[in-house]
Amino acid sequence: MAVTLSHLENLYALSDDPWNFRSSTYEQARFEATLAALPLARYAHTLEIGCGNGELARRLIQRSAAYTGIDAVKAALETARVSVPDGTFLEAFLPCDLPPGQFDLIVLSEILYFLDPAGLTHLAEQLDRRWPCAEVISVTWLGPSGNPLEGCDALQRFAAATLRPMVPAQPGDPRHRIDLFSPLERSTT
């Protein structure tokens, strides 16, 4: 990670909603745009990497038979577990081995620019190897993040590291972009 665990923990020490996911009209619209960009109406098992306090998870679980979220911050996971009691939430600090499961949707919502180049490559290679049949959706903040890698650079590095075809972002809010990475293989089920 290009961002330290202590930095993330400090954000959640100040608030269980450090990015104002619950009250920001921008964040609410971004969540709705993310759901609208999903190619399928329903998924068997969703994995959200960097689930934070569970605000996007509350929406994703309505489109998923099962949901698993991972985050590095214990306080964020505690809030997410309360918000989404039917979800599974696991503590993990990237880069790491992701949890087992047969995921058919993987969500990377405003997480890529928290990684460094090696972490982005590790993530892309792991997703390609373990879940070739999954849809991957990436949401990228286009403004300054204050992180070593900004959104577009991180997205380009991830796109270069994955073998998945990238479906160009649809025009939308100029503050973020939403990109789909198509499955490498189609599921036979």
Are 59 and 35 within 8 A, CB to CB? yes
User: Distance (Å, rounded) from C-alpha 37 to C-alpha 127?
Assistant: 20
pLDDT at 3: 72
Query: For the chain, what is the mean pLDDT?
Result: 91
Q: Check residue 16 and give its pLDDT.
A: 76
The contacts of residue 54 (CB under 8 Å, 6+ apart) are 69, 76, 79, 80, 81, 82, 83, 84, 87, 89
Confidence at residue 127, expressed as pLDDT on a 0 to 100 scale: 98
Q: Pick the more confident residue, 58 or 24.
A: 58
pLDDT confidence of residue 28: 93
Q: What is the pLDDT of residues 101-133, one digit of tens each?
A: 999 999 999 999 999 999 999 999 999 999 999
Q: Which of 59, 165, 50, 162 is nearest to 112 (CA)?
A: 50
pLDDT at 98 over 80: yes
Question: What's the CATH number for 5-181?
Answer: 3.40.50.150
- Give the percent of the chain with pLDDT over 90: 77
For residue 145, what pLDDT is reported?
Answer: 87
pLDDT for 12: 62
Query: What's the pLDDT at 18?
Result: 60
Specify whether the CB–CB gap between 66 and 85 falls below 8 A.
no
Q: What is the pLDDT of residue 13?
A: 72
Parse the chain into domains and list their residue ranges.
Answer: 5-181
Average of pLDDT values for 142-166?
A: 94
Q: How confident is the model at residue 163 (pLDDT cuts 50, 70, 90)?
A: very high
Residue that the structure tokens 């989404």 belong to: 84
Please say if the pLDDT value at position 100 is more than 60.
yes
Question: Residue 151 pLDDT > 60, yes or no?
Answer: yes
Q: What is the pLDDT of residues 24-46, one digit of tens each?
A: 899 899 999 999 999 999 999 99
